[in-house]
């Protein structure tokens, strides 16, 4: 963790200031409750230990409550990596040094007397002190109060200039840059006729770009190169039946390669080195499962490669383009299947049990090994390699969180890096050349590893498309030639947004009522004291997903309007190990909702949130959590926005898309069975308890949503209107699971801001 982040974290102070000494006994009790070594007979005038002080300062100044990893990082930063004796009594000199480093008052090392003098000059210590004097609990509370006052001295509580909804929500500009296979051209997305389309241009010439797609009804969601063609995916009005299209260089050869109504295509392999052909999956023969086809991108010819017997959830091809791995599942338990050739039958390779997950990444070049992510037999997913006898070797693991991704490089025939997310994204490099380039880029761009992504690179790993982004930076693309060390800026997303007006997203953690550590993010409005603010809690979708430290336009929009925004990775969120995910099984509206409620209460207890001005807003599962929040804790929220959310779990399970059929049993396992768990699902479906809802509600829904059908929103709106409750309802006929068209997004967020301002301000 870099000092810039520590300063940002401390510059927006958390707690309401109290009269000097008024909380000293409470401080001791707080330390006792956190098990940081304060004896029961410690009085406010008794000395405290180094550990006591660091834990108290950590809780008060950095939003971290229960995160050991973050605590260790901060302790190392504050103490200049010194190995302090944590159980000994802290002295004024040590305390001054820690705070001077934490507040970033001075970078260079000084003598203890200099630290003491600096602490006095900056108002941290109000009276003269000897360096070896110990610190009492009462003094500690007073000194931290002084530190918080110092950190917030530049906040005038006037906020920042209001930025329009349109500036936050309109298409951000050129994005998704990718090099052609020969490195001579570059493709990217850009707006045309209010829709994101694909453009290409010569890499090293200042030539005019050529638009190669002409979509006017819907954004193109993804594109990639195949030889001299651009392939791209697009659905119809949000129905998620994505078709695969091709386009030539001049944009005059656009063609729907999968022109089958009601069919969804998935790309399985780009077949690098195989001219004009790729492998795709389609549910053309059976809407519930995906067969494998070899597709010629120039002629559109299809060759049926593998028939799905009805229980295959995923396929993996080797380096010759042969389907050699399949994942068989009953929705709960899975088996990785393997075959030597495409003429052979699949045979069991690795068996998993409930909650286990093995995700194959790639075959080795000789097709004798299989790289994968696996949590079989352990809590956290690790980066592993299997031989063909299913013997496993662990390549990398992280004790705190799941390894989220492994980067396989075909030319080097190796996993070159792994990625994992704690509070932010981090990398573990296994290739020295790539690590060297990454460090060069960090230095040239003056960013941390969490802000840097390698978007694309050539086979020799000498030319790179680089993306820089953060909580306050939408993103900037660069082209980097590592042989010449030449760095060229390609474009800046949403360049019209003032970066200095964006708000910091602070990693936070707190304890749930039953003792779990819950992680999340708190975004505080810029130039506003974090005291008694209107708060929007924003539960994520899934629920088997997670929030991360990224630029989030809707969060920044809310913060720009003066709202604090709380995002919670409640139990059932992914990334923290399977035990944490499993803790959310059959807990919709119950312990999952308690985690969200506990987060709101934490923000209230910290003095950040005004308890009379708390709103809740979420999409998909977050929409369900919104409805559950105003149903089961009706006094907690003053306004709510449900965006494509679930109101009736029975109808949700009855209307899942056909291609989710292989995971139906998993949904029953995770959410509840409509027959066996009938009473549970009735108890936690908000539509059956609409009589408890009194919070003002705004509902938004896409008519073509295949995941959360329009009926989910219709039901709750109808139930409330029957009681005479006025519900705002926005229905878009040309949208699905969330609004994608620019004009619809702008209309929705304008309405949401107006709704929250009406009820929370």
How far is 320 from 643, CA to CA, in rounded Å? 44
Beta carbons within 10 angstroms of residue 145's beta carbon = 21
Given 547, 705, 713, 759, which residue is catalytic? 705
pLDDT of res. 54: 79
The rounded distance, in Å, linking the Cα atoms of 2 and 73 is 10
pLDDT given at position 51: 79
Burial class (CB in 10 A: 0-12, 13-18, 19+), 620: buried
Q: What is the pLDDT of residue 401?
A: 96
pLDDT of residue 62: 73
CA distances for 296 relative to 198, 223, 227, angstroms? 21, 17, 12
Q: What whole-number distance in Å separates Cα of residue 587 and Cα of residue 7?
A: 38
Residue among 85, 88, 63 nearest 74 (CA) = 63
Q: Tell me, what's the pLDDT at 90?
A: 87
For the stretch 21-67, pLDDT in tens is 334 444 444 444 443 333 333 455 788 888 788 778 877 777 765 55
121 phi and psi angles, rounded to 5 deg? -60, -40
Give yes or no for residue 1 having a pLDDT over 50.
no
User: Scanning the structure block, which residue is given the tokens 């929103």?
Assistant: 713
Residue 205 CB neighbours (<10 A): 9
The mean pLDDT of 141-160, rounded to a whole number, is 84
In the chain, what are the domain boundaries? 3-151, 504-760
SS3 654: helix
pLDDT of residue 196 exceeding 90, the answer is yes
- Decide if 620 is catalytic: yes
pLDDT at 536: 98
Domain at 504-760: CATH code: 3.40.50.1820
Q: Please indicate whether residue 246 is annotated as part of the active site.
A: no
Q: Is the peptide bond before 385 cis (omega within 30 degrees of 0)?
A: no
CA distance 407 to 415: 5
Which residues are CB-contacts of 100 (< 8 A; sequence separation ≥ 6)?
Answer: 106, 110, 115, 118, 119
Specify whether 705 is catalytic: yes
- Worst-scoring range by mean pLDDT, 340-344, 570-574, 746-750? 340-344
Encode pLDDT of 670-725 as tens digits: 999 999 999 999 999 999 999 999 999 999 999 999 999 999 999 999 999 999 88
Q: Helix, strand or coil for residue 257?
A: coil
- List, in sequence order, every residue forming a beta bridge with 535; answer none if it has no partner: 564, 614
Residue 15 is predicted with a pLDDT of 25
Closest-CA residue to 334 (of 393, 290, 289, 376): 376
Strand residue runs (E) in 576-638: 609-619
Distances (CA, A) of 93 to 44, 110, 130, 344, 388: 20, 11, 7, 73, 61
First to last CA, the chain: 36
For residue 745, give the H/E element and its range. helix 742-760
- 410 burial class (0-12, 13-18, 19+ CB within 10 angstroms)? middle
State the average pLDDT for the chain: 89
Q: Give me the pLDDT at residue 98, please.
A: 82
Task: Pull the structure tokens for residue 13.
Answer: 């102070």
Q: Which of 65, 229, 737, 759 is catalytic?
A: 737
List 620, 647, 685, 713, catalytic entry: 620
What the block records as the tokens of 552 is: 């989030």
pLDDT, tens only, 427-478: 999 999 999 999 999 999 999 999 999 999 988 889 999 999 999 999 999 9
Could you tell me the pLDDT band of residue 80, with boundaries at 50, 70 and 90? low
Helix (H) and strand (E) counts in the chain = 18, 35
Q: What is the pLDDT of residues 372-402, one digit of tens each?
A: 999 999 999 999 999 999 999 999 999 999 9
* CA 487/CA 100 separation, integer angstroms: 36
């Amino acid at each position: 963790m870099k000092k810039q982040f520590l300063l940002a974290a401390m510059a927006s102070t958390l707690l309401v200031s109290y009269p000097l000494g008024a909380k000293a006994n409470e401080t001791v009790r707080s330390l006792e409750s956190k098990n940081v070594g304060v004896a029961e007979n410690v009085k406010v005038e008794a000395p405290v230990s180094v550990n006591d002080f660091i834990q108290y300062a950590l809780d008060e100044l950095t939003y971290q409550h229960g995160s050991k990893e973050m605590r260790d990082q901060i302790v190392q930063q504050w103490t200049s990596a010194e190995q302090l004796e944590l159980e000994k009594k802290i002295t004024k000199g040590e305390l001054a040094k820690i705070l001077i480093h934490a507040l970033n008052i001075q970078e260079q090392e000084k003598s203890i007397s200099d630290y003491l003098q600096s602490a006095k000059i900056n108002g941290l210590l109000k009276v003269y002190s000897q360096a070896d004097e110990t610190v009492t609990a009462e003094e500690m509370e007073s000194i931290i109060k002084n530190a918080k006052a110092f950190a917030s001295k530049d906040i005038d509580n006037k906020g920042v200039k209001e930025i329009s909804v349109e500036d936050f929500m309109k298409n951000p500009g050129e994005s998704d840059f990718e090099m052609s296979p020969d490195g001579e051209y570059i493709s990217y997305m850009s707006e045309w006729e209010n829709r994101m389309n694909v453009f290409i241009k010569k890499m090293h010439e200042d030539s005019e770009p050529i638009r190669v797609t002409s979509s006017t009804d819907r954004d193109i969601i993804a594109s990639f190169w195949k030889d001299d063609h651009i392939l791209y995916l697009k659905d119809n009005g949000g129905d998620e039946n994505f078709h695969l299209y091709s386009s030539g260089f001049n944009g005059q050869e656009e063609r729907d390669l999968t022109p089958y109504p009601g069919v969804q295509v998935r790309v399985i392999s780009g077949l690098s080195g195989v001219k004009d052909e790729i492998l795709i999956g389609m549910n053309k023969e059976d809407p519930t499962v995906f067969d494998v086809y070899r597709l010629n991108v120039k002629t559109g010819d299809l060759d049926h490669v593998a028939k799905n017997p009805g229980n295959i959830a995923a396929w993996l091809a080797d380096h010759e383009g042969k389907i050699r791995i399949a994942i068989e599942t009953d929705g709960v338990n899975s088996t990785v299947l393997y075959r030597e050739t495409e003429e052979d039958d699949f045979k069991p390779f690795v068996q998993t049990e409930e909650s286990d997950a093995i995700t194959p990444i790639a075959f080795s070049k000789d097709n004798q090994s299989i790289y994968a992510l696996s949590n079989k037999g352990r809590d956290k997913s690790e980066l592993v390699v299997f031989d063909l006898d299913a013997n496993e070797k662990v390549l990398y693991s992280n004790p705190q969180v799941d390894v989220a991704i492994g980067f396989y490089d075909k030319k080097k025939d190796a996993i070159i890096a792994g990625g994992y997310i704690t509070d932010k994204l981090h990398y573990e490099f296994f290739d020295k050349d790539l690590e060297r380039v990454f460090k060069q880029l960090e230095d040239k761009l003056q960013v941390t590893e969490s802000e840097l992504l390698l978007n694309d690179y050539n086979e020799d790993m000498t030319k790179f498309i680089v993306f820089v982004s953060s909580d306050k930076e939408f993103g900037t693309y660069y082209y980097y030639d590592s042989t010449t060390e030449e760095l060229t800026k390609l474009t800046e997303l949403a360049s019209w947004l003032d970066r200095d007006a964006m708000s910091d997203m602070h990693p936070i953690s707190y304890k749930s009522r039953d003792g779990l550590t819950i992680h999340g993010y708190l975004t505080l409005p810029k130039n506003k004291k974090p005291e008694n603010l209107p708060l929007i809690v924003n539960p994520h979708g899934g629920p088997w997903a997670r929030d991360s430290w990224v630029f989030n336009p809707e969060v920044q929009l809310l913060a720009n309007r003066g709202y604090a925004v709380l995002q919670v990775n409640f139990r059932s969120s992914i990334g923290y190990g399977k035990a944490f995910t499993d803790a959310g099984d059959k807990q919709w509206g119950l312990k999952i909702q308690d985690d969200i409620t506990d987060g709101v209460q934490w923000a209230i207890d910290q003095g950040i949130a005004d308890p009379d001005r708390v709103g809740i807003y979420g999409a998909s599962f977050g929409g369900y959590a919104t409805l559950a929040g105003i149903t089961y804790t009706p006094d907690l929220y003053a306004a709510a926005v449900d965006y494509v959310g679930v109101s009736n779990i029975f109808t949700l399970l009855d209307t899942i898309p056909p291609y989710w059929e292989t995971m139906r049993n998993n949904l029953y396992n995770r959410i509840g069975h409509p027959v066996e768990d009938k009473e549970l699902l009735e108890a936690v479906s908000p539509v059956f308890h609409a009589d408890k809802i009194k919070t003002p509600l705004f509902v938004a829904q896409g008519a073509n949503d295949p995941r959360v059908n329009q009926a989910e929103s219709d039901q709750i709106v109808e139930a409330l209107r029957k009681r005479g409750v006025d519900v705002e309802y926005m229905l878009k006929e040309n949208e699905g699971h969330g609004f994608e068209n620019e004009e619809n997004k702008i209309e929705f967020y304008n309405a949401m801001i107006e709704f929250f301002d009406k009820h929370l301000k």
